Every structure is written in C-alpha cells, then in structure tokens.
Amino acid sequence: MSDLPGVSAGDVSIDPAGEPIWDVQRPFVEAATIRDEDTDRFKHTNNVVYLSLLERVAWSHSVHLGMDFEAYERLGAGCVARRHELDYLAPTFAGDTLWLATWIHENDFRLTMWRHYQIIRASDRKTVLRGRTQWVCVDMASGRPRRMPPEFKVYQPWPRAAEAAS
C-alpha cells in the first residue's frame, strides 16, 4: 500500500451527480493504493490488508486529534481493539486507489468507544467496505481495562450525515 498525500474529506465528499458519498459529513480521510502483493490468489485485495488499512487510518485520526502513542504512554492509558465487524461490499484490485474514512460513532467516556470506517474506491466512488471496531481503554502497564482519562474527550462522536443536516 503506497502512501498518497492526505485527502481532505471536503475534496471527496460528493459524487459527480452531487450526492454525498460518505455516511457522515466530513469524516477523517486519507488515501492508499493497493499493490500486487496486497492481493490474494483471487487477484483481489486480501481481507487482512483491509484490517491493516483500518488500523492505519485509525492511528492517523488519533494522531490528528493529538493522541499519538507517546500521548498514550504519558497518560498511561491506551485503546485496544476488542471487536471488529467488517462488511465487504465490493472487491478491489492492485492499482486501485482507495479513500479510507473513519470517525468516532459512540464513546461512553468511561471504558469503550466505537470507531466506524468506510472505504471508497476512488475510480467510481463506490463504497467497498464498511466496518466498525469497539475499542477498550486499558492501563498501559498492566493491560487491564481502566477508566478513560479526561484527555480522551478528544474522541467525540461524529454526527451522522442525516443528523448533521437537521
């Protein structure tokens, strides 16, 4: 997966017909291009690659919010994945440029939050994957669940497109 310059959600928020393409308004977005080695024997993107892409965009979004790994270490708290749910909607292939979007959907500000994802193929602006991950706050030293520190307030739920328009 080669890195491409960051893509602003504003640059890719509507399709040629003028319809919104994201499930929420202005999610955090970056781009990636699928390489030959990212494909499987069926010649489409391997499912493990998608999980890596989701981890990558989640970290990029966290860094954008000021929560890099060093911040986690300073706080003694970080988030680990408890559950992933992925819906594969269409295949992608070597050479395809994908737009990776993420946002926080829910956060109880105690222990868990849900991060949602949407991957769109740039060539036809088709959603190829939707997913979500439940993240749990843990103590960095013990690995045990712990209450989120106040600094995790940066992980605010993002309004759904329909809610934001009203």
Task: Give the Å distances, CA to CA, from 142 to 76, 79, 110, 157.
Answer: 10, 13, 18, 28
Query: Are the beta carbons of 156 and 139 closer than 8 angstroms?
Result: no
Higher pLDDT, 103 or 15: 103
- Distant-in-sequence, close-in-space partners of 83: CB < 8 Å, separation ≥ 6: 133, 134
For residue 101, CA distances in Å to 21, 72, 80, 93, 137 come to 11, 23, 19, 19, 22
Q: Which pLDDT belongs to residue 155?
A: 96
Written as six digits, the tokens of 162 are 């329909």
Q: What is the pLDDT of residue 9?
A: 44
State both tokens at 45. 């993107």
What does the pLDDT look like over 10-38, one tens digit per residue?
A: 445 545 555 668 999 889 999 999 999 99
CATH class of the 2-165 domain in this structure: alpha beta
User: pLDDT per residue over 136-153, tens digit each?
Assistant: 999 999 999 999 999 999
Q: What is the pLDDT of residue 3?
A: 36
The pLDDT tens digits of the residues spanning 46-75 come to 999 999 999 999 999 999 999 999 999 999
Lowest mean pLDDT among 5-19, 99-113, 144-158: 5-19
